[in-house]
Structure 1
Amino acid sequence: MIRKKKNVAIVAHDNRKADIAEWVDWNWKALAQHSLVCTGTTGKLVEETITKKCQDNDFFAPTVTRLKSGPLGGDQQLGAMICEGKIDMVIFFWDPMEPQPHDVDVKALLRISVLYNVPTASNRATADFMISSPLFDQDYKPEVKDYQSYISRNIEL
């Protein structure tokens, strides 16, 4: 069950950090109603941006949980949180033009978000659609595939 107050993960590669800060600045009011989880320096940018907007407008700033930097394990921490049902949606502005030293971690994170049917935006347009959806501020029960047959399969040695 995805509750009305969501745990929103926000991640951005270095070349997309300015984009994510601008997006958070533009959407601060919608995001302020939820808890935010970010990797590394993205978390610092998000926290600074949203805290300033909230202070300037007499809003309570949301909780921003900062994980490790992506290449230092933050992507894997976030993936574990998805597996544990602690993340309700992922906003991940990734850079398709720049090879990343942790591409395998990025791929694993995106794979886990699909596996657990977690809404995931990889660009600004999709992120805009997600947070402007009426479902963003409502309870929602996503369909999660039952993998019991996979877990219970016979393995011959």
Structure 2
Amino acid sequence: MIALIAHDQQKPLLLQFVREHRELFAAHDLVATGSTGRLLADELELDIERVAHGPAGGDLIIGGRVAEGKILAVFFFRDPLTAQPHEPDVSALMRVCDVHSIPLATNSATALAVVEWLKLNAAGRSQQAE
């Protein structure tokens, strides 16, 4: 399962990124915080499990799933300059991802690296199945 979160100002960037890599994201189970998930589902017609909005603890729900071993990668497009007080903080999610060695992309450059890692990971699983 891949997790998707974005601060308000970064939602268009995440939407564009997922659009550009739609085939990869469509091949995975997806979970997202409330409004991010709604945006991605509405705009890209992806099947996305939506948890609570960020301010209501959606990022914590995703963090719990990371701890349970249910998340393969997290894409949290955060706004480092103008994040609003109601938006989720990446610190706790970063900590749990680090503890469990789960890749966490916080911008489009690291997201691209994680996409490439996911492709390699999928290729490795395909070769093991043969």
Q: Give TM-score, length-normalised by structure 2.
A: 0.85
Question: Which residues in structure 2 correspond to 1:61-140 (within 5 Å)?
Answer: 61=46, 63-101=47-85, 105-133=89-117, 134-138=119-123
The alignment of Structure 1 onto Structure 2 pairs a total of residues equal to: 124
Q: Deviations over 1:96-141 (max 9, x none)?
A: 002442577431111111111101111101111221234242457x
RMSD: 1.9
Kept in 2, the 8 Å contact 1:24–1:49? The answer is: no
Classify 1:88/1:67 alpha carbon distance in 2 versus 1 (closer, same or farther; 3 Å).
Answer: same
Structure 1 segments of 4+ aligned residues over 3 angstroms from their partners: 102-105
Find the residue that maps to 1:98 and give its secondary structure: coil
Percent of residue pairs identical: 37
Q: Which residue of 1 aligns with 2:14?
A: 20
Confirm or deny: 8 A CA contact 1:83 1:116 kept in the other structure: yes
Distance in 1 between residues matched to 2:89 and 2:107, nearest whole Å: 18
Q: How far, CA to CA, are the matches of 1:113 and 1:69 in structure 2?
A: 20
| 1:58 match | none
Q: Partner amino acid for 2:85?
A: P
2:32 counterpart SS class: strand
In the alignment, structure 2 segments of 5+ residues that lack a partner are: 126-130
Q: Could you say what secondary structure the match of 1:101 adopts?
A: coil
Give SS of 1:118's match. coil
